[in-house]
Structure 1
Amino acid sequence: MKVKKKYFLLGIVTVISLLLIALVIATFLLNKFGLSYADSLTLSKVNSLNNEEIKNYNHQLQYSYDVLHYNLNVELFDKEKKIKGETKLTLVPKDNFSGKVILNFKENFDILKFNVNNKNSNYEFHNDKLSFNIPKEEKQKLDTIEVTIEYIGKPENLGFGSFVFDKVNNQSVIYTLNEPIYASTWFPCNDIPFDKVLTDIYITNDSSKVSVSNGKLISEKIKGDKKTYHWKTVYPIATYLITIYSADYKYFNQQYISNFTDTTNIDYYVLEPELEKAKIDFSIHPEAMKIFSDIFGEYPFINEKYGVAEFTWNLGAIEHQTITGLGKDFISGRKFFTSMLVHELAHQWWGNAVTPKTWKDIWLNEGFATYSEALYFEKLSGSKSLQSTMVSFKNNFGSSTLYNPENLFSRAVYNKGAWVLHMLRKEVEDSTFFRILNTYYSNFKYKNASTEDFIKTTEQISNRDFQKFFKQWVYEGAGKIELEYSYDVEKIDKGFEVFLEVEQIQNYYSSYHFSLDVKIEFTDKTTEYKTIFIDSRNKTAKFVFAKNVKTIYLDPENWLAADIIMKN
């Protein structure tokens, strides 16, 4: 009995120790990524990717051609958790085309047919690359190359859930989530963000299932116990945004009327348990679309649709072009997750219409969509909502650079990215800032943009040099500014002389350069504002006032990505 008691007590201590360790890890992950420990297990797989691995995912020869169109025909077999697919690609060789075409495609599929320009062709299939050669005598004659690949197999479930066969109440739910480099887990493709295409997507499943994809629904055809949905895009789309969903969906919709009186459907596909709650939560979309269209420019996919489809991914949501995927746990019936819905809607402008050239530029997606949340709440409730939203982002900031980040989906990419736009807005003032956004959107809509493209647009519209600003906030600086300040007030003949001492104490970056707003409160309860420019780690500013000073505040309206402490 004593031995058993000893081991029992040892077991209790071990369990408690493990729980404490899990709590510490969970707290760290919540602070760093805004995620629970369980959610982080999936995220860590994606965050383990670095840009070198992403670069190696694509062979240099994949940059020697452009895909114009994918015709995807996917039949789903839920019981076997496999698919049968046919992908037809139309591609155009560039001037540097060598005659060899390389596609991304996972090797766990069996190739049933491989045709090039309607002829059987030899191919190589290894290291998750599918390649073939165009004979020299044909290479010079071809304007386009047509490739048809039939295949069958079980898709790998990588990343956030690149191809998922799931169950809800014993009913199948099937969906895809390609970001960042997982489209090749279910169809052969040139999986590079800047190779945008048009698509025709055919999804075949049991006739009881509703199947959804990007673009506009063209047809539904029943054959026996199977039903095929045909979806078509008329606007370019990046491979990571291509998706399919198939489940026992219940459908309802709303409409958005554009500034030019065009009407587009807002289509919702949800599972029955969430139907009534979704009708409440999703009702914000028409107004949100109007707000963003007024701020950025008209909704970019007006001739297709916008939509939301429920899936079982519990990390949040994903901005698939024209059909956002939303985790079932984020349908509350109380509008608890409006910011998430607004964020994904904003991606239709930032990420989908204007797509980053490389994954190094991902802040142009996530930072812009995150700041769009703040703009939405500002439009609804005024400047106080803008400030409170930005403060919430600052409290969960991370310590990474924005360009080529260590983790593609860290909170720095989202929240720091939003703060860069917020600070830029203060630098150029509202009218110029929104002209920058309008111009950037207009110039790169349905195309790809880089960080340098955004900087050039900023400088062009503002007629100012912003190299230092973006160097310190996007390319080099990590984390945020940390300031300590103190002040002394001395009585002089003409009033009161104030010496304000400001010191940067952050470890991640030696010295930021920035404008700093100063609010002075006087003993007679009046206030005055000054702006000083900080260009060194330590700065002293001198003011003279006729009245005595009660207290001084720095950055009183929260325009600066800084933690500020007043010394005693």
Structure 2
Amino acid sequence: MKYAMLAGALLLAAACQQPAPKQEAETLPVKDQHTLSNADSIDIRKLDLNIGVDFEHKQISGVAAWHVANPQNIPLLKLDTYGLTIDSVSVNGRKVQHSLDAALPVLGSRLNIPVDQSAELVQIWYKTSPEATALQWLEPSQTMGKKQPFLYTQSESIYARTWIPCPDGPGIRFPYTATVKVPAGLMALMSAENVQQRNDSGIYHFSMEQPVPAYLMALAVGDISFKAIDSITGVYTEPAMLEKAAWELADMGKMVTTAAQLYGPYRWGRYDVLVLPPGFPLGGMENPRLTFATPTIIAGDRSLVSLIAHELAHSWSGNLVTNATWEDFWLNEGFTVYFERRIMEAMQGENYADMLWELGYQDLQGTVDELGKDSKDTWLKLDLHDRNPDDGLTDIAYEKGAHFLRLIEKNAGRAKLDTFLRTYFDSHAFKTMNTAQFLQYLDANLIKGDTAMASAIRIKDWVYGPGIPGNCPRAPQKRFAKVSDEVKRFKEGTAAKTLQTTGWSSHEWLYFLRALTGADKEKMKELDAAFGFTETGNSEMADQWFVMAVAADYEPAYPAMEKFLSEVGRRKFLTPLYAEMMKTPKGKEMAVRIYSKYKQNYHPLAQESLNKLVK
């Protein structure tokens, strides 16, 4: 997933050399504190899902049939639910009396089902709540086509339980099949084998043979069309967006080939992308076989497609080898960011990838500044006891994790690290990994007793220490150095229209804007006249520009900013813009007005974040 919000953090001071708590105990599989299920005791073998989608009542209903084995004769099967209505339950075809525990604020209600050693099939008839966090129900007016409603799910981190009764933990994997009934004229897609054309019946069948955790289960329903890129990749989106999206993502097949050359075969069959309506709260979600992507990557110049490289990389790190708990989230995202940049380097060159590394470092520094340089939330190994796992979905996992791997590359050599990672993915395919297990594997298979290498890397400082360690590698700045020269010239009085900007990519423009944070109204007016930032179609640049406009009270940008906030639901863009507005009385009034007007365009997860911010 790229990227999550900067969640409100619990700032716990931690010395840089503080040892890992209970590190020895972690060498064995650990209990995931964010699932109420007992899938560690009862074997969850497969899910057969049969559901219907009701747009009028904003409800999914049907039956979840779990194939299980219970050799230990455990008396209860325990599953995660949140806001579900459980109508009835049967075991091996016979109705049983289930119970639901009282709901916990973050985790929801545990569903208890009596079973014995003979239990093989557990069927649960249920309905979702209209307020289910994973589900965004869009009215036709909230789509591009304006004619049909749209539904999509977002199950990460622990929201699968809001639309399926399930064992909802990243370390619990299962294959699944599904039958989904939708209104006539609409198409259904899942993170599974998909059709490429809608049918007349409104009934769609799906199969995911590879075992996946619940957070990687996904569903989308709407007016959707498909266009192939090549034999194994293609794009789904609303018809009005299809040709534009297919052009933007024309290199997806090359990305798959490049990734496989780096770290082994792609093991999921097809790799397709669904470009969603604007309310999607994330950049992308790595649902197997079918990445969900924000339309904000459709910039018209293929400048933002590194996000697709990121979601594709998850097909190895995260989807293939999965973090055992959300406290080990860096094993998912840190590896993926590193892999993403290796893909982009192979396709676009080293100097291009260096820009991604530097912008990522800036994001990391900003996150550390916000959380606090001594915060325990800046450790790679997170402490999420009694907390929402979304609190850990920050750039620490992404960027600190990626820079840690880059440091290992610097000290071990790229060839050795590549061999190590290829073997790691192969030997742990469709399995889970926790932090201590990975560090043991790293020590045994790469460091191999090399005390000089271990001393240079300083693993404890990175994994169990706060902030950005002093040995963090920085990328060379060949292309950004030229941007810095132009920034300096502008600050010294050179007219904006005479700056040497020909051929700049969106990354250079973003670096340029970040370097000019704090520009006053007159400078903003001059920059806008020269480069037209207020009307840019590039979402990354637009968001940075609008944040600067609010800070400078540059009113000519406000109509375009409001239009941007009415159309974009990505938390990465919403959060800093609303946060900047909330800093002044004038801005606060504007934030409250705009948020009240467009709140329903945002996904429930984005609303949850912004409700805490815009008051």
Same fold per superposition (TM over 0.5):
yes
Map 1:168-317 onto structure 2 (within 5 A): 168=143, 169-217=146-194, 226-256=201-231, 265-302=232-269, 304-311=270-277, 312-317=279-284
TM-fit CA distance, 1:183: 0.6
Instruction: Report if the CA contact (8 A) 1:276-1:333 is conserved.
Output: no
Q: Which residue of 2 aligns with 1:152?
A: 127
**What amino acid is the match of 1:66?**
D
Instruction: Report if the CA contact (8 A) 1:87-1:149 is conserved.
Output: yes
Residue 464 (structure 1) aligned with residue 449 (structure 2)? yes
TM-fit CA distance, 1:415: 0.7
Instruction: Report if the CA contact (8 A) 1:215-1:305 is conserved.
Output: no
**What amino acid is the match of 2:43?**
D
**What amino acid is the match of 1:246?**
V
Map 1:23-172 onto structure 2 (within 5 A): 44=7, 55-59=32-36, 61-93=38-70, 95=72, 98-109=74-85, 111-126=86-101, 127=103, 128-134=109-115, 138-139=116-117, 142=118, 145-158=120-133, 162-167=134-139, 168=143, 169-172=146-149
TM-fit CA distance, 1:89: 0.2
Q: Deviations over 1:263-321 (max 9, x none)?
A: xx32321012321220111112101101110001011213x544434243143111111
Alpha-carbon distance change, 98 to 350 in structure 1, aligned in 2, over 3 angstroms = same
Alpha-carbon distance change, 85 to 309 in structure 1, aligned in 2, over 3 angstroms = farther
CA distance in 1, matches of 2:209, 2:37: 29
Aligned partner (choices 410, 423, 428) of residue 394 of structure 2: 410
Q: Which residue of 2 aligns with 1:422?
A: 406
Instruction: Report if the CA contact (8 A) 2:224-2:236 is conserved.
Output: yes
Instruction: Considering Cα pairs closer than 8 Å and 6+ residues apart, tell me whether 1 or 2 has the greater RCO.
Output: 2
CA distance in 1, matches of 2:313, 2:196: 28
Instruction: Report if the CA contact (8 A) 2:187-2:198 is conserved.
Output: no
Q: Which residue of 1 aligns with 2:613?
A: none
TM-fit CA distance, 1:157: 3.2
TM-fit CA distance, 1:328: 2.4
Alpha-carbon distance change, 234 to 219 in structure 1, aligned in 2, over 3 angstroms = farther
TM-fit CA distance, 1:455: 2.4
CA distance in 1, matches of 2:474, 2:137: 53
Structure 1 residue ranges without an equivalent (≥5): 1-32, 257-264, 483-511, 518-568
CA distance in 1, matches of 2:322, 2:121: 26
Instruction: Report if the CA contact (8 A) 2:2-2:285 is conserved.
Output: no
Map 1:350-499 onto structure 2 (within 5 A): 350-397=317-364, 398-399=367-368, 400-404=378-382, 407-462=391-446, 463-465=448-450, 469=457, 471-482=459-470
Instruction: Report if the CA contact (8 A) 1:218-1:232 is conserved.
Output: no
Q: Deviations over 1:239-274 (max 9, x none)?
A: 100011111011111235xxxxxxxx3232101232
Instruction: Report if the CA contact (8 A) 2:38-2:79 is conserved.
Output: no
CA distance in 2, matches of 1:202, 1:445: 27
Q: Deviations over 1:316-340 (max 9, x none)?
A: 1111111111122332232132111
CA distance in 1, matches of 2:100, 2:338: 43
CA distance in 2, matches of 1:100, 1:220: 42
Alpha-carbon distance change, 129 to 314 in structure 1, aligned in 2, over 3 angstroms = closer
Greater displacement, 348-357 / 398-407: 398-407
Please state whether the residue corresponding to 1:217 is helix, strand or coil.
Answer: coil
Identity %: 22
Please state whether the residue corresponding to 1:103 is helix, strand or coil.
Answer: strand
Alpha-carbon distance change, 413 to 301 in structure 1, aligned in 2, over 3 angstroms = same
TM-fit CA distance, 1:57: 3.8
Alpha-carbon distance change, 64 to 205 in structure 1, aligned in 2, over 3 angstroms = same
CA distance in 1, matches of 2:433, 2:468: 26
Q: Deviations over 1:458-493 (max 9, x none)?
A: 3333323576646434432222245xxxxxxxxxxx
CA distance in 2, matches of 1:516, 1:267: 35
TM-fit CA distance, 1:350: 0.8
TM-fit CA distance, 1:59: 3.1
Structure with more helix by fraction: 2
Please state whether the residue corresponding to 2:206 is helix, strand or coil.
Answer: strand
Q: Deviations over 1:50-104 (max 9, x none)?
A: 9xxx955423744212211111112011111112121000122364x53111111
Please state whether the residue corresponding to 1:301 is helix, strand or coil.
Answer: coil
Instruction: Report if the CA contact (8 A) 1:198-1:233 is conserved.
Output: yes
Alpha-carbon distance change, 197 to 55 in structure 1, aligned in 2, over 3 angstroms = closer
Instruction: Report if the CA contact (8 A) 2:7-2:394 is conserved.
Output: no
Alpha-carbon distance change, 330 to 371 in structure 1, aligned in 2, over 3 angstroms = same
Structure with more strand by fraction: 1
CA distance in 2, matches of 1:337, 1:328: 11
TM-fit CA distance, 1:373: 2.3
Greater displacement, 360-369 / 471-480: 471-480
Alpha-carbon distance change, 73 to 233 in structure 1, aligned in 2, over 3 angstroms = same
Please state whether the residue corresponding to 2:165 is helix, strand or coil.
Answer: coil
Q: Deviations over 1:13-46 (max 9, x none)?
A: xxxxxxxxxxxxxxxxxxxx998xxx95xx648x
CA distance in 1, matches of 2:313, 2:172: 22
TM-fit CA distance, 1:129: 1.4
Map 1:336-355 onto structure 2 (within 5 A): 336-355=303-322
Instruction: Report if the CA contact (8 A) 1:200-1:231 is conserved.
Output: yes
Structure 2 residue ranges without an equivalent (≥5): 13-30, 104-108, 369-377, 385-390, 476-615
